[in-house]
C-alpha cells in the first residue's frame, strides 16, 4: 500500500465528504453530495480507473419501519450519479423513510457504498383548502420554484453478508467436494 499524494493546495477545509438528503415535498427529495479529492483519488487508485469509468451511482433505500443496517430495505432505487453536486428526485411515497448511498457499481454488478446520507421521512399528504379569491395564496403558489426532478429505477440489489466502512463481504460460496468417494481429506 502506498500513500496517496495530496498537495497542500488541495487540502481545502471545504473539500469534505458529504451526502445529504432533504425532503422537498411528500413525493420529491433533494440530495446533494461532495466527494473529497482525497477519497476520489483513493477510489480511483484502488480500482485503477477514472472516476466516471467506475459508474458512480446513487442508491436510495426505503427503510420505513426498519432498523437499517445496509443490507435490508423495503425497496431500493438506483440511478447513475448526475452531473453536478445535487439534484431533485421524484417518485417517492408520502409517509415513508429514506436513506441514500453514493457508491460505485463494479464490473461484477456489486454496489460498493462510499458515502451514506442522513435519513429523512417524507410527510403524509394533507389536503389543504385554498381559497381561489385569496390573492396571497395564489401569489405564494406562483412564487414556489418548480424543480425538474430526476426519475430512477427500482433495483434488486445483490445481498452482502456483511458491510463495514472499509470492506464489503459477499455471501461465501459453498465449497464443493472435488474428490470422488465422499470424504474431504
All domains of the chain in start order, with CATH: 8-165 (2.60.40.10)
pLDDT the model gives residue 52: 84
All three cell numbers of 77, joined, read 432505487
- H or E segment and range at residue 143: helix 135-143
Displacement of CA 118 from its chain's centroid (Å): 10
pLDDT the model gives residue 173: 55
Q: Which of 52, 60, 55 has the alpha carbon at shortest distance from 90? A: 60
Only one residue has cell 385569496, namely 134
pLDDT the model gives residue 87: 92
pLDDT the model gives residue 92: 92
The b-or-e profile of 32-43 (16+ CB within 10 A means b, else e) is: ebbbbebbbbeb
Q: How many other CB atoms are there within 10 angstroms of residue 90's CB atom?
A: 15
Provide the residue-wise pLDDT of the chain in tens; the chain has 185 residues: 445 555 555 555 578 999 999 999 999 999 999 999 999 999 999 889 998 888 899 999 999 998 888 778 899 999 999 888 999 999 999 999 999 999 998 778 888 999 999 999 999 876 554 444 444 444 444 444 444 455 555 566 555 555 555 555 555 555 555 555 555 55
pLDDT the model gives residue 57: 93
pLDDT the model gives residue 110: 85
pLDDT the model gives residue 133: 47
Asked if residues 35 and 114 have their Cβ atoms less than 8 Å apart, the reply is yes
pLDDT the model gives residue 60: 94
Asked if residues 98 and 60 have their Cβ atoms less than 8 Å apart, the reply is yes
pLDDT the model gives residue 44: 92
pLDDT the model gives residue 33: 95
Q: How many other CB atoms are there within 10 angstroms of residue 98's CB atom?
A: 27
pTM above 0.85, yes or no: no
Query: What CA–CA distance (Å, rounded) separates 59 from 61?
Result: 7
**CA torsion 66→67→72→74, rounded to 10°?**
20
Amino acid at each position: 500500500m502506498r500513500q496517496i499524494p495530496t498537495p497542500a493546495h488541495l487540502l481545502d477545509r471545504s473539500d469534505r465528504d458529504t451526502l445529504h438528503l432533504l425532503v422537498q415535498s411528500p413525493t420529491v427529495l433533494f440530495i446533494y453530495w461532495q466527494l473529497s479529492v482525497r477519497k476520489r483519488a483513493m477510489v480511483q487508485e484502488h480500482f485503477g480507473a477514472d472516476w466516471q469509468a467506475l459508474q458512480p451511482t446513487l442508491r436510495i433505500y426505503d427503510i420505513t419501519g426498519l432498523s437499517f443496517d445496509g443490507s435490508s430495505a423495503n425497496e431500493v432505487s438506483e440511478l447513475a450519479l448526475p452531473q453536478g453536486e445535487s439534484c431533485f428526485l421524484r417518485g417517492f411515497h408520502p409517509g415513508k423513510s429514506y436513506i441514500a448511498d453514493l457508491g460505485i457499481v463494479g464490473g461484477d454488478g456489486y454496489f460498493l457504498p462510499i458515502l451514506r446520507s442522513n435519513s429523512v421521512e417524507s410527510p403524509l399528504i394533507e389536503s389543504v383548502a385554498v381559497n381561489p379569491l385569496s390573492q396571497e395564496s395564489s401569489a405564494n403558489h406562483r412564487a414556489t420554484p418548480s424543480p425538474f426532478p430526476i426519475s430512477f429505477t427500482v433495483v434488486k440489489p445483490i445481498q452482502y453478508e456483511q458491510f463495514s466502512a472499509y470492506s464489503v463481504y459477499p455471501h461465501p460460496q459453498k465449497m464443493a467436494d472435488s474428490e470422488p468417494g465422499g470424504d474431504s481429506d
